[in-house]
Chain A
C-alpha cells in the first residue's frame, strides 16, 4: 500500500515538474517571437523612411547617383528578403545598413543639405531607427540564447525534445562594413 502511495507521489511530482518546464519553454518561445516581431517593426520603419530620405537628398546630391542607387537597390533587396529566414534576412539588412552608412558619410560634403530642417529630422529618425534595429536585434539574440540554453540543457531538453521545441536562429550581422566604424577623412 505504502509503495503505491510513493509511486503515485513520484508520478505527481514528475508531472508537476514536466508542466512547469513546458510552460517555461512556451514563455521563452513567446518572448522570442515577440522580440522577432519587434525587429520586424523597426526594419519596416526603415523601408518607409528611405524613399522620404531619397526625395529630400536628391535635389542636393546630383553627383552621387551611384551612392543613392545603391541605397535604393539594397532597400528593395532587403524588402524582398523579408519573408525568408533570420540568416538570409540579416545578410540583406546588413547590406542596407552599410549602404546607408556610406550615404551619411557622403552627406558631410553638402553643408546646404546639413542645414535643411527636413533632412535633420529625417536623419534623427534614421539614426534612431538604426539604433532600434540593433537594440531589438540584441534583445532577440539574448532571447534566442536563453531559449536555446533551455532546449539543450538537462533536464529541460527532455521536455523540449518530447514536445517539439526546436532551437532558434540567431540574427547575426554578416556585412563586414558594419562591424568596424567607418573611416572618415576630413579633407
Chain B
C-alpha cells in the first residue's frame, strides 16, 4: 500500500533539486558580480542554507507549535480526541503515537509536524474540536496522519529552507547592488571587462528577481500535490471520504481566520489558513488546491482506494493526467467504502456537548478549577481565587474550593 511513498519521493527529490539548483545559480552569479568569484558566492549561499537548515532541523516543530500557541494534551484531558488519533494511527500503520496539541482558536484548522516518525505531533484548533463530529474529525486526523506517514513535513521543511535562503540572498543582493552599483561599473569599464561584466550584471539581476518567484511556485506545486495525496490517504484510512468532505465543507464555510498562521507555515495546515473568502484559489500561487474541488473529488469517489481517488480527480478536472503513480495505484486491491454510521445509535455527543467538553478543557488549561453545583451550574474558579469557599450565584449553595 505504501509504495507510493517511494515513487513520489523521486518526483519530490527532482523538485527539491530544482530549487537547490536555483539557489546555487543565485549564489554563483551574485558572487561573480560582487567579488568576481562565483565560488565565494556559492560558499556564502551554502553557509546561509546550512545555518537555516540546522535551525529548522532542531527547532522546526517547536517553533511551529510555539508560534501557534499550541498546548499539549494527554489522554485524560480529552479521551475522545485521543481515541480518534489512536484509531487513525492504527489505520495508517504508524509505529508511534503522535503527540496531540490543541490551539485555543475559534478558527477551524489542523496541522501536523515531525521530521521523522519518532517525534511527531498533530495540532488542531479548539474550534475544530467543537464543530466536527467523529467521522469528520477522523477524516481530518487521517489527513494529518498521511502527512506524517508520507514524510511531507520533512519535505516541506527542506523546501521552505531552500526558499528562505534564496529570498535572503536575493534581498540582500539587490540592496547591495543598488547601493554600490555606480562606483562598480565605472571601475570595471576602465579595467576593460565591459561585455562580460554586463552579462553577469544582467543575469544576476534577472536571477534575483525571478529565482524567489520560481522557487515559490515550485514550493506551492509540491504543497498542492501533497494535499491531494493526503486527502487520498485519508479516504483510504477511514474508508469514508464523506467524513473528510463534510469536514472540509465546514472548514471552508468558517469565516474566522487563524491568528497565528503566516505565509511560511501555511502549507502545514489542512486548509490554507490565509485563504480569503470569495478568492479563487485555483491559481499557481496557492499552497492548497481549491477546497471546493477537493470536496468534489472526495464526493465522487466510488471506492476508497487510490485508483478511485485518481479516477475522481480525472473526472473533476476533466483530465487524463494521473495524480497517483501507477505503481502505487495498483498495489491496493478493490477497497469498498464503509457505510455511513447512524449517529443516533452511536450515541455521539452533539455540537452543544462537544462545545461544553472543549470549553472545560480550555478552562483547565488556564488553571481554572471547575466545580459543578447540584443545580447544574458550572463554577469556574480562577487560579488567583483566595477564599476557601465559594457560593453558587444561581442557587446559593456553598462549595469548598
Contact = CB atoms under 8 A, between A and B. Distances in A.
Interface residues of B, number: 25
A181 B79 contact: no
Interface residues of A, number: 32
B80 interface: yes
Contacts of B84: 128
A104 interface: yes
A179 to B, nearest CB: 9
Majority-rule SS of B interface residues: helix
A132 B86 contact: yes
A31 B93 CA distance: 9
Given A138-B239, A184-B345, A121 B79 contact: yes
A180 B346 CA distance: 14
B342 A181 contact: yes
Specify which of B87, B91, B331 lies most central, judged by the most chain A CB atoms within 10 Å of its CB. Answer: B87
Given A124-B83, A145-B333, A105 B345 contact: yes
Contacts of A125: 79, 83
Interface string A121-139: 1011101100110011011
A2 to B, nearest CB: 35
Contacts of A124: 79-80, 83
Contact of A146 (B79, B91, B239, B331): B331
A123 B93 contact: no
Contacts of A169: none
A184 B344 contact: yes
A38 interface: yes
A105 B344 CA distance: 10
Given A138-B91, A139-B93, A128 B83 contact: yes
A142 B345 contact: no
B47 interface: no
Interface in B319-355: 331-333, 339-342, 344-347
Interface in B59-102: 79-80, 83-84, 86-88, 90-93
Interface in A31-54: 31, 35, 38, 42
Given A35-B93, A104-B345, A184-B344, A146 B86 contact: no
Contacts of A142: 1, 332
Interface string A105-128: 101100000100000110111011
A139 B347 contact: no
Contact of B90 (A107, A132, A149): A132
Nearest to B333: A145
B347 A114 contact: yes
B345 to A, nearest CB: 6
Contacts of B345: 104-105, 108, 181-182, 184
A131 B87 contact: yes
B347 A127 contact: yes
B91 A139 contact: yes
Given A138-B91, A139-B91, A127 B86 contact: no
Contacts of A104: 345, 347
A186 B331 CA distance: 44
Given A35-B93, A135-B87, 13 more contacts: A42-B90, A105-B345, A107-B347, A124-B80, A128-B79, A143-B93, A145-B332, A145-B333, A180-B339, A181-B339, A181-B340, A181-B345, A184-B345
Interface of B: 1, 79-80, 83-84, 86-88, 90-93, 237, 239, 331-333, 339-342, 344-347
21 contacts: A31-B93, A127-B346, A127-B347, A131-B87, A132-B83, A132-B86, A132-B87, A135-B90, A135-B237, A138-B239, A139-B93, A142-B1, A143-B1, A145-B332, A145-B333, A146-B331, A149-B331, A181-B342, A181-B345, A184-B344, A184-B345
